[in-house]
Structures are given as C-alpha cells and as structure tokens.
Amino acid sequence: MAVLHPRRVAWEGARVFVAAAGTETYWWLSEAIGHYLGVMYELQLAETRLRLHADGRKATPLLESGAWRARLDELLDEHPGYASILTQLVEETAARLRTART
C-alpha cells in the first residue's frame, strides 16, 4: 500500500487542476470536483478559469497553483481521508490532459 503524503498530494492536485482549468478537461474536472469535494471547490475552479483567461488582468498559473495548494492543504488537514480521492482525481485529470495533447 502506497503512503500518501498530504503536502505532495496537495501540490500535485494544485498543479494539475490549474493546468486543466484552461483546457477542455476543465468540464470533466469541474463536475468531478463538485461531486467529490463539494460545490465550493467547483466554484473556486471556475474562478481560477476566469482569472486565467480574463482580459486585462490575467493571473499567472503559478499564483493560481499556490492558492490551490493552500486550499487543498487545508482540505487534507481537515479531512485526511480525502487524500486517496484527491489522488485519484489528480491521476485521472493528468491522464485526460495527456490524451488531449496527443
């Protein structure tokens, strides 16, 4: 059984979620996040997408990743059992992003 380090899970989640926010994978991820993590996280992903694509005030992926890492750290601190769910979301999202690029 693999040991899931919460900080690593949060960082990978942040990196992959922000990468997906600007692609067609966003639509799948948004629904999955809403289902597994809750509507507030789904809304925060929508806000990330808007900030990354807003004219005149484009946020950087690095800033958005930092915000998501903090958000996911907090989630895992409050609910350590979510680490496996979050890991599965990250792996599936990353696979979808790879498929979309090929």
Q: For residues 60-71, b (16+ Cβ closer than 10 Å) or e, as one string?
A: ebeebbebbbeb
pLDDT of residue 15: 97
pTM score of the predicted model? 0.90
Q: pLDDT higher for 38 or 102?
A: 38
Domain boundaries, the chain: 24-101
pLDDT of the residue at 100: 85
Q: What is the pLDDT of residues 60-77, one digit of tens each?
A: 899 999 999 999 999 999
Q: What is the pLDDT at residue 2?
A: 56
Query: Percent of the chain, pLDDT > 90?
Result: 79
Per-residue pLDDT, 55: 61
Residue 18: which of 59, 57, 73, 78 has the closest Cα? 59
Give the span between the Cα atoms of 16 and 27, in whole angstroms.
14
Least confident of 38-42, 52-56, 89-93, 96-100: 52-56
